[in-house]
Structure 1
Amino acid sequence: MTAWLHTAAMLATAAGVLSACAAYLATRQVRLSLGVLLDFLTAAGLIRLADEPSWSSIATAAAVIGLRKLIATRLGRHPLVR
């Protein structure tokens, strides 16, 4: 991975953590702040994929996006409603 792509991915990750903390402090909603964090982590993963993608890195990115969608869907449901 080139140095600037690695730096961009790390900055996206750090921005995600900071943004998730700020979202939580502003709204006191864990669901919202976790959604913000997952979006930034997805962006960081896609930045990492930009440098010479291999099948394993594509599979990893697809798994991360699938996990993000699963968690986001699960967070959208009320815990008492089935």
Structure 2
Amino acid sequence: MIPWAQGAALLVTAAGLVAAPAAYRMVGDARRALAVLLDFLTAAGLVRLSGDLSWYGVLTAAAVIALRHLITFGLTPSRSGSAPGARPWVR
């Protein structure tokens, strides 16, 4: 691995660990703060991939991105604005 890529990935990870609590304090929503952290970790993985150009690295990055999308999709509230299992026709 290229030394600068490893250092840059470490810096991006550290920035994510600082930005997530800051986002939580500003917005007050843990789901959005976790999404910020996952975005930074995805960016760190892609920076690390730039230093390790192998199929294993590409597959690992693809798995991390897919996992990030699944987690973020699972954390988003329902589009109807009601809780899961709620009956919208009952007022």
Establish whether TM, by shorter chain, passes 0.5.
Answer: yes
| Structure 1 runs, 4 residues or longer, greater than 6 Å off | none
TM-score (norm 2): 0.83
Aligned 1:1-82 pairs, distance under 5 A: 1-78=1-78, 80-82=83-85
Instruction: Please identify, of 50-59 and 63-72, the stretch whose mean Cα deviation from structure 2 is larger.
Output: 50-59
Q: Name the count of aligned residue pairs.
A: 82
Aligned equivalents of 1:63, 1:16: Cα separation in 2: 19
Q: Secondary structure at the match of 2:51?
A: coil
TM-score (norm 1): 0.92
State the identity %. 50
Aligned partners of 2:23 and 2:33 also within 8 Å: yes
Structure 1 unpaired stretches of 5+: none
Q: Secondary structure at the match of 1:66?
A: helix
Q: Compare the two structures and name the one with the higher helix fraction.
A: 1
